[in-house]
Structure formats: structure tokens, C-alpha cells
Structure 1
Amino acid sequence: MHITPVSPFQPQLPYIYRSMAFRPDVYQDSDFAYFNQPLPSKLQRAVAKRKAEYLAGRVCAAQAMQQLGLPHHVVQTGDDRAPIWPQGIRGAITHSKGIAMAVVTDNSNVLGLGIDIEHLMSDRQELELRSQILREDEADAFESLGQSHHRPLTLVFSAKESIYKALYGQVQKFFGFDAAKLIGHDSQQLHFTLTADLHPDLTKGTKVSVFYQYNDEMVLTECMHQQAS
């Protein structure tokens, strides 16, 4: 499988990242050995597209961690499907339709990172999925977002995915899209508030902000969870 460095976005979080383009249509199981990555037993029967996505994300993660002095660390997957990062490392992985990205840091103040790339939904998808992604009390903030941004539901969906990834390491349990409520936005960030107590340090009303940027095809969102000062 061809994996080629690309930079469709310049992440706004100040941490090490790697971004790659890959071609699932030419994937072979031998590609795991070529990139010095193990093929997880849970993926043995997966379709080629899923294997290719997984491999591309892990290659991004491995190359990013090399910049932190970890020459070759394999990021395994837990039973909860979350990546298992080395001690003292926080990171996140995302992939969407032939693009993969990973971001990592060894900053001890960072408790979690979340990134998400999504290709823009169609108008029909945004209409059909709105009730699954938005809370009723987000209507005003969402309408405001839609007045200045194309495909606003894609933005919110991606942002909530990034929030989940960033907070999960501390929360350690599943929480849905309704746990974060969009309350506003500016030119670089979407702003949310938690609607439930997820953890003693992540209580109802806690504010969470997510960087966003997009082009004609896709959006990148980034969320950082750090220790309270």
C-alpha cells in the first residue's frame, strides 16, 4: 500500500503531528510487515479498507513518536478500541477516505488529545443526521454557525468526536453526542459546555473549546484536555 506524506491541514495545537495519504485499493496484508507494524488479531477478518485505515493511522503515530525519542513504539488497541499510548505520551489518531493523521505530545500538563478529520457531508446527510448529532437546545448556536459556515453539521459532528477522544482517557467510559452542547463559535474555535458530570474534574457546565478548519472537501477539528491551573 502506498502511504505518502501530505499536509491538507496545519494543525493549530502546538504538538508533533504526521499526516499521510493512503490507497486502500492497493492494500495487502504484507503491508503491515513492510511498515514494521503488527496486524492485530481482531483485524484478521476485517475488510481491506479497515485494515488500510488502521495501518495508515499507526504509521502516522509511529513516525510522530519518533520525534519524541521513541524510535519504534507500536500503538496497540485496548478492548475499548482506544489507542494505548506509551507512559507519559498523549496522542490521537484519525482517518477519513484515504487521509490519516496522528498528533502526540509528552507535555505532562496535557491529559488528553482529540483530533478528527471528516469529509464534508452532503446536504441530505446533514438534514438526515441532524437529530442524531444535535441537542434541541443547540438550535440557536447551530443556526448562528450555519450563517457563516458551509456544512455546519459536519463541523459539529467532527468537534464532538474530538471532544470524546480528548476526554475519554480521563472519563474511561462511553458518553454520547448529547454530553456536549454547542454554545458558540469564533473564527478558529467551536465552544461547548458539558451537560452532565462525566468525571469529578469534568462536571456539568465545564467549558470545552475545539479548534476547527476546513477546505472544499473536509474538516479538521482538534481538542486538548489539560490539567486545571
Structure 2
Amino acid sequence: MTPISHHPACCSPLQDHWPLPFALPGVQLISTRFDPSLLDPEDFTRCGVPGMSAVSKRQTEFLAGRLCAREALRRATGEPCTPAVNEDRSPCWPTGAVGSITHGAGWAAAVVARHEQWRGIGLDVEKRLPPTRADRLVAEILTPRELEGYVELDEAQRALLVTLTFSLKESLFKALYPLVNKRFYFQEAELIDHDSTGRARLRLLSDLSEEWKSGAELDGQFVQFEDDYLLSLVSIPA
């Protein structure tokens, strides 16, 4: 495949780094910052990314995510390609690769790995929720067990807990959905452990498939960066 040299002004140079606390062998993470006000409608054509009909913010985050995914695929597999969009709106990864794309608040990233090493991988970025919004959303995101002790926390701790739980469950969904082909929601999994090192552990509360049943546990990790961003990842080894 002929490499595409154009890099749009709406995206910062792609960054190859690993901000999370625990490295995963064979997994590539590429990120960029994006600014919808700098999007040129011709950027999609110049970058070799299929265009889409949406507001400029959605177009820019889509473009940024696909550029990250293509570079992550190149580094992980040696084959740069732009993931298409499945009918369910999820990225369509090439055979032999697994991956995940995330974007929010001007930052986008993608992780990619070879399927022979990892069965599933989910990545999610969030800006920390304001305390008032966290309190409004908490009953939707946290299970009754996760809610134990919530009211005793101060508002900053509550906001962080809701943001963290939300993000890890989003990453869990992205990692598992391609394996179970079934949508599931916040109350169907719970965060059973997390610590100051960035380790996390989640447990399914519903049967999603013959393999992935209620009680199954998965590992996750997370990091806070630039004060108000939180990045989480859930990975399933081969």
C-alpha cells in the first residue's frame, strides 16, 4: 500500500507512546490532539479516509481516530489500512488484528494488536465528570454493590469514581463486544477492585455467551493525565 504523507492541520503529529501504567506486549497505542475549527473538508480525501456526513466535531474526531488506527495497524502488523465502519458503527479491523478507538475533548487514540497475542482490547478516554453530573449519573453507572460507601466520599472522590467506573465499563464493552456480538450495559458488569497503581478488575454480572458468563473476571488498567483526563484499557490475552 502506498503511504499517505498528508497530515491534516486539525490534528497534532501522531504520538507513539504508552501513558498507561502496565505495558502489554505487542500492543501499539497511537494518539493525537484534534481541533474541529481547523478541519478542511478535503482532509479526508488527502488522508485517504472515507468521508462522513456529520458536524465538524464528529468529522474531526472520526478522522483523528482513523489516522491513529492506521498508524497503530502499521506498527503492529506492518499493514497500514483504515478500518471501515461495521453496520453497528464499530470499527471493522482487518483479519488477524484486534483494536479499539477512542476520542473525547480534543484527544483521540487507537490501540492495535495481533489476534495471535490478544483476543480483545478496549480503550476509552474521558474527561473527569463534574461532581454534580457524576451525582446525577451514578445510579445508572454504578451497581448497588459499587454504590456502597459512595455518599461518604467527598465530591472530588465521587466524581473520580463515577468517571473511572464509566470509562472501565466502556473499555470492557469494546474488548468483549466483538467476541460476544451482544450489547450489554453498565449494570451488567461491576468494578470489583482498583488501586493507586492503576490496576483494575471487573466482573460480569450477566451471561453474554457460552464462554463469557456471569462471574467471569477481566483485568483492566487506568491512568489520569493532564489533570482532568482519564484513560482506561481492558485486555483479553489469547
Instruction: Provide the TM-score with structure 1 as the length reference.
Output: 0.89
Task: Find the aligned partners of 1:145 and 1:209 in 2 and give their Cα distance.
Answer: 25
Which residue does 1:22 correspond to in 2?
Answer: 34
Give the conservation status (yes or no) of the 8 Å contact 1:75–1:85.
yes
Compute the displacement of 1:35 (Å): 1.5
For structure 1, the 5+ residue unaligned runs are: none
Q: 1:6 to 1:123 in 2, by over 3 A?
A: farther
Which residue does 2:89 correspond to in 1?
Answer: 81
Instruction: Provide the TM-score with structure 2 as the length reference.
Output: 0.86
Matched, 1:2 2:2: no
Give the conservation status (yes or no) of the 8 Å contact 2:17–2:30.
no
Letter matched to residue 87 of structure 1: T
| Count of residue pairs brought into register by the alignment | 223
Which residue does 1:67 correspond to in 2?
Answer: 75
Give 2:128's match in structure 1, choosing from 114, 120, 126.
120
Q: 1:226 to 1:200 in 2, by over 3 A?
A: farther
Compute the displacement of 1:29 (Å): 1.9
Q: Percent identity?
A: 31
Matched, 1:207 2:217: yes
Which residue does 2:233 correspond to in 1?
Answer: 222
Q: Secondary structure at the match of 1:81?
A: coil
Letter matched to residue 64 of structure 2: A
For structure 2, the 5+ residue unaligned runs are: 1-8
Task: Find the aligned partners of 1:63 and 1:135 in 2 and give their Cα distance.
Answer: 37
Letter matched to residue 233 of structure 2: E
Which residue does 1:158 correspond to in 2?
Answer: 167
Which residue does 1:52 correspond to in 2?
Answer: 60
Q: Deviation above 4 Å: which 4+ runs of structure 1?
A: 6-9, 141-150
Compute the displacement of 1:53 (Å): 0.6
Give the conservation status (yes or no) of the 8 Å contact 2:77–2:97.
no
Q: Secondary structure at the match of 1:25?
A: helix
Compute the displacement of 1:56 (Å): 0.2
Compute the displacement of 1:226 (Å): 2.7
Q: 1:67 to 1:8 in 2, by over 3 A?
A: closer
Letter matched to residue 229 of structure 2: M
1:129-167 CA distance string (max 9 Å, x none) = 101111112223767997995621101100000000000
Q: 1:105 to 1:142 in 2, by over 3 A?
A: farther
Give the conservation status (yes or no) of the 8 Å contact 2:17–2:29.
no
Q: 1:94 to 1:75 in 2, by over 3 A?
A: same
Give 1:91's match in structure 2, choosing from 90, 99, 103.
99
Letter matched to residue 160 of structure 2: R
Which residue does 1:191 correspond to in 2?
Answer: 201
Greater mean alpha carbon deviation, residues 91-100 or residues 29-38: 29-38
